[in-house]
Amino acid sequence: MSEINSQKEWRTAVTSNQDGKILIRGYNLDNLIGNKSYAEVCFLLLKGEMPTVNEAKMLDAIFVSCIDAGIATPSSVAARTVFSGGNSLNAAVAGGILTLGDAHGGAIEKSAKMFQDYIKGREDIKDEYIKETAKDMVDDALKNKKRLPGYGHKLHTVDPRTKRLLDVAGDLNFGGSYVNLAVAIADEFKVKKPERKLPLNVDGCIAAIISDMGFDYRLGKGFFIIARSCGLVGQVFEEWMREKPFRRLAPNLHEYDGMPERG
């Protein structure tokens, strides 16, 4: 047992590494290796307990859903560009991770906070109340020109990952009140602003599911980072293998629109 009253400056209850033994939340890493999946051990590390079969499957599905989304995303462009400037794989991947903000991947945190602010502690609320809440939230967003994190998409009018994740969540019994609220908000946007196309995006969907799984909203961005790191390693490695250093934007992709020569 760790010393709860320890006065040492650096303390942790995550992992101990003593006498040649590494214990993750008390589980010997030697016994986890080869017996537990990466998603299972991530759950253990982040939540402190071993997941149930369904929790492990759900977390794994979340990781798969945001592992990569192609070369054109801000994180992929940034990671490849940092590498192209002559930097290492780790610097390039870190550069990609730094792009993860409110508009890209990072919306999970804000979206989960929004859902948890409305429902936390009242997870058994009735469907009618969820619909009312969704209506109020959308009315308020439209009236005050607020962007609700977890809605809208640059490319998709229906985010295909969301549909699939919601199906998996339903099959694994994670379609609780947070998921219901997330879907009710998207439905309300459809009614109030059909022309705007504000679907529940993958960030919002993950935010609702992790809330139903009992995770703190502050871990939201962490799930995306864990999953997308693999995608970024793949993108940067491909850049390394295929491309010459020093990428520049092609002339047809940029222009100068400032003052003409004047001095």
Ligand X SMILES: CC(C)(COP(=O)(O)OP(=O)(O)OC[C@H]1O[C@@H](n2cnc3c(N)ncnc32)[C@H](O)[C@@H]1OP(=O)(O)O)[C@@H](O)C(=O)NCCC(=O)NCCS
Stretch that binds ligand X, among 10-18, 100-108, 167-175, 214-222 (CB under 6 A): 100-108
Query: What are the tokens at 228?
Result: 């997308």
Residue ranges of alpha helices (H) inside 196-219 are: 202-212
Shortest Cβ distance from residue 184 to ligand X (Å)? Answer: 14
d(CA 192, CA 185): 10
CA 156, chain centre distance (Å) = 17
Q: Is 220 exposed, middle or buried (0-12, 13-18, 19+ CB in 10 A)?
A: buried
Answer whether 214's CB lies under 8 Å from 223's CB.
no
Among 147, 218, 243, 245, binds ligand X (CB under 6 A): 147
Is the alpha carbon torsion for 252, 257, 260, 263 positive or negative? negative
Nearest residue to ligand X, by Cβ distance, number only: 152
The verdict on 141 binding ligand X (CB under 6 A) reads yes
Shortest Cβ distance from residue 189 to ligand X (Å)? Answer: 7
CB within 8 A of 95, min separation 6: which ones? 78, 79, 81, 82, 87
Shortest Cβ distance from residue 206 to ligand X (Å)? Answer: 10
Among 51, 149, 175, 220, binds ligand X (CB under 6 A): 149
Shortest Cβ distance from residue 4 to ligand X (Å)? Answer: 39
Binding mask 176-205 for ligand X (x = CB under 6 A): --------------------x-x--xxxx-
47 versus 153: smaller Cβ distance to ligand X: 153
The verdict on 220 binding ligand X (CB under 6 A) reads no
Among 151, 174, 178, 217, binds ligand X (CB under 6 A): 151
The verdict on 239 binding ligand X (CB under 6 A) reads no
d(CA 84, CA 104): 22
d(CA 201, CA 161): 8
Stretch that binds ligand X, among 46-54, 101-109, 163-171, 229-237 (CB under 6 A): 101-109
Q: Of the candidates 25, 45, 109, 38, which has an alpha carbon nearest to the alpha carbon of residue 67?
A: 38
Shortest Cβ distance from residue 111 to ligand X (Å)? Answer: 7
Among 148, 184, 186, 210, binds ligand X (CB under 6 A): 148
Binding mask 3-42 for ligand X (x = CB under 6 A): ----------------------------------------
Among 58, 59, 66, 107, binds ligand X (CB under 6 A): 107
The region, left, alpha or beta by phi > 0 then psi within -120 to 50, assigned to residue 167 is alpha
Strand ranges (E), the chain = 15-18, 21-24, 27-28
Chain residues that interact with ligand X, rule: CB under 6 A: 102-103, 107, 141, 145, 147-154, 196, 198, 201-204
